[in-house]
Amino acid sequence: MLACMTSTDPATLAPRRLPNETPQTLHRGPYTIIKELGSGLHGRVLLAFDDRLQRDVAVKLPAALTVDALTSDRVNVDELEQQVKSIVAECNAMRRVQHPNVLQIDRLVSGKKLDCDYVAMLTEFAPNGDMFDLLEVAGALPEPLVKVYACQLLRALEACHANGVVHRDVKPENLLLDANYQLKLADFGVAATAPAGEDATDVFSRDESGTALYMAPEVRSRRLYRGTPVDVWSAGVVLFILMTGLPPFNAAQKGDAWYDDLLAGDLEQFWATQPDEVLQAMTPGAQDLISSMFVKPDQRITVSEALQHPWLRGADCVDSSLVFHVEAAIAASKLEAA
């Protein structure tokens, strides 16, 4: 007989709810599934309409529950149990961080499939996709726009670290864009957390979590590493890509010449051998900030220090005209390609 979770498992079946909120069953409740937005190792994200709130929401379901599986009589129970635990852990990490540049949770809802309990996480919906989508249509972004997004990303990470959360998977695909193109840090599926009430200063890990191209070198060492500098390195990779439309190295592994330069601490060689299009796009201020993010973890700048960097001085972190600037960047890219 397949074992399912029981109601006595508080770690997976005791999600927080809003006051006076009763559990809802996703496939019977007031949610109309519109389409799938994406999927990952532990979950798939759907766009749904919340009839009660009269607005779109994003719904993260365990990956074992495809839309078809909701009406099927078969489901991989072992996978479902593990994915539920992952979603609950992600929810707990996200609930710690209340910040305008961090995706906010609406609620956790419960469901049942073949006598197996599961949860789904409802979050605000970001209708303009993610930063990767934007880069695909706009290419490298103008420097003023990069400064805004750099500021928003660093502020999001600063809030995470202050509340005991290390994201560990910062990349363009996890930077969502709301209706006004404001950045929303999302997908805390591999986040590491400090004990409640503590900041992330003493969060250490040993596991290799994240996405290869954006991983700090110490993550690959299989040795104990401090968490917060890992997010800074990843943010540096993101800023490099936003400025140039290209990654800083071909592969985050030994044998890649540019990556080897960074491992050796040879920033001068790293920059000197970059292609012309990178050097033309990269202003001295941006280069200096990114350099401070691409050093050994004990020398690496913190997110709070990065926000004080001269290159970001005067940057408007809450740019009310982002829609205009982003649409202008997209239009300019299309005109150039025509």
Spatial distance between the Cα atoms of 70 and 107, rounded to a whole number of angstroms: 20
Nearest to 258 by CA among 243, 268, 248: 248
Q: Which of 169, 231, 261, 319 does the annotation list as catalytic?
A: 169
Spatial distance between the Cα atoms of 155 and 243, rounded to a whole number of angstroms: 19
Consult the annotation and say whether 81 binds a ligand.
Answer: no
Q: Are 242 and 149 in contact (CB under 8 A)?
A: yes
Spatial distance between the Cα atoms of 318 and 155, rounded to a whole number of angstroms: 11
Consult the annotation and say whether 173 binds a ligand.
Answer: yes
SS3 string, 41-76, reads CCEEEEEEEECCCCEEEEEEEECCCCCCCCCCCCCC
Q: Are 224 and 234 in contact (CB under 8 A)?
A: no
Helix/strand/coil for 159: helix
Q: Are 225 and 297 in contact (CB under 8 A)?
A: yes
φ and ψ of 50, to 5 deg? -90, 105
Angle at 218 between CA 216 and CA 224, to 5 degrees: 135
Consult the annotation and say whether 124 binds a ligand.
Answer: yes
Consult the annotation and say whether 204 binds a ligand.
Answer: no
Spatial distance between the Cα atoms of 90 and 121, rounded to a whole number of angstroms: 9
Assigned token pair, 256: 């890649």
Strands 43-50 and 183-185: unpaired
Consult the annotation and say whether 266 binds a ligand.
Answer: no
Consult the annotation and say whether 147 binds a ligand.
Answer: no
Consult the annotation and say whether 126 binds a ligand.
Answer: yes
Decide if 276 is catalytic. no
Give the residue numbers annotated as catalytic, written as ranges.
169
- Which residues sit in the known binding site? 60, 124-126, 173-174, 187
Residues annotated within a binding site for ATP:
60, 124-126, 173-174, 187
